[in-house]
Amino acid sequence: MINENKILTRGEFAEMRVNQPIVGEKNMEKGRTEIYDCDAELSRAIIARRRNFDNDVNEVQDNFLIMPGINMYAVFDGASMSDGARAAKLAAKAIKTKIEQFLIEKNIRIRELSIDQVKKLLQHVVRFANKELAVRNMNIESSGEKLITTMTLALVIEGKLIVVNVGDSRAYFIPNDTEIEQITVDHDAMRQDAELRKGFPKEIDEIKQGRIEASGLRQAQRNPLPFLKNKITNSLGRGANLDEIKDFPLDIFVRDVASGDKVLLCSDGITKELSDDEIDKGVRGVEIGDMISGVKDLMKNVSKNEGNSEQDDKVMAVIEVK
């Protein structure tokens, strides 16, 4: 294993082997796909990010965070009608810095924490990232571009997968022996309606509450009515005052995992283009021996309609449990 992040090749795909924590840069060429290969203690992950040809801004809205030392990965999708590229990068850096600060100050390793302690740490650092963006937004004029981004984060720890979600980026679980499962529940207009009319929880905490039943809502979110598309009701950077920032809601999910199980984190630039069956087939086709080629094929499939329809930038993390 190398001791520092290292660029391996350049061309249509830029590949980098990752051994240290890293956050993506904002600037990226049109039509470029970046591939990051991370071989950590409990997981192997390939992160792919693409700036589509239809993006005329010299920045990529989607970003990522890789922390190999704690087997943690996150994807971010900055809002296109705001300063999304900056928001995604700032949020990723805030989470990275806060976790590193905690581990150094406490002189402790993640594996020494209980599941409940890990949950509280993740809640703390994500809320810290939201506060960083929200406070900046308070000082931006109403006509200015706000700092708004979604986030989906996954951490693998000794037989468990913990997922934190804000917005409509998603996490999928692809076990060895059962069918694909969408773990997360989007924060969107349909969920808001379920919260108001059906008592669906505004904040999910499966470590505290146990597994929730939301299959019907998830199915509806995959096929929204046209006027409900892209209606996100929660994201990092939200909060009009300090009370709202303090009570910022986020979702926590937990799954038991075994060697060979896979997880996909992705922005809606992926889920708009692929059905669950296509995601399942594509991720299962990513073999541990040649994960980079498998992820490249998956990204090519997602990007095949570029130039012919409205396309978003894209980011995904395919994680395999060791």
Instruction: Write the DSSP string, 201-266.
Output: -SS-BHHHH-----HHHHHHHHS--GGGTT-B---BT--SSHHHHHT---EEEEEE--TT-EEEEE
Homologous superfamily (CATH) of 6-321 is: PPM-type phosphatase domain (3.60.40.10)
Q: Ramachandran region of residue 304, left (φ > 0), alpha (ψ -120 to 50) or beta?
A: alpha
* pTM, to two decimals: 0.93
Average pLDDT over residues 245-249: 90
- pLDDT of 115 reads 96
pLDDT of residue 3: 44
pLDDT in tens, 150-193: 999 999 998 999 999 999 999 999 999 899 999 999 999 999 99
The model's confidence at residue 230, banded by pLDDT at 50, 70 and 90, is confident
Question: What amino acid is encoded at 264 in this protein?
Answer: L
Q: Two tokens at 243?
A: 């009370």
Q: Which of 66, 69, 55 is nearest to 16 (CA)?
A: 66
Higher pLDDT, 8 or 284: 284
- Mean pLDDT across 193-206: 94
Domain range list for the chain = 6-321
Give yes or no for residue 15 having a pLDDT over 80.
yes
Residue 255 has phi, psi (to 5 degrees) of -140, 145
Mean pLDDT of 68-95: 94
Residue 309 has a pLDDT of: 54
| Per-residue model confidence (pLDDT) at position 160 | 97
Given this model, what pLDDT does residue 2 score?
40
Residues 33, 234, 217, 115: is their CA dihedral positive or negative? positive
* CA-atom Rg of the chain in angstroms: 18
Please name which of 35, 18, 69 lies closest in space to residue 317, comparing C-alpha atoms.
35
What is the mean predicted confidence (pLDDT) over 16-27?
A: 94
Mean predicted lDDT score pLDDT of the chain: 90
- CB-CB neighbours of 98 under 10 Å: 18
39-53, 118-132, 183-197, 306-320 — which is least confidently predicted?
306-320
Tell me: pLDDT of 1 over 50: no
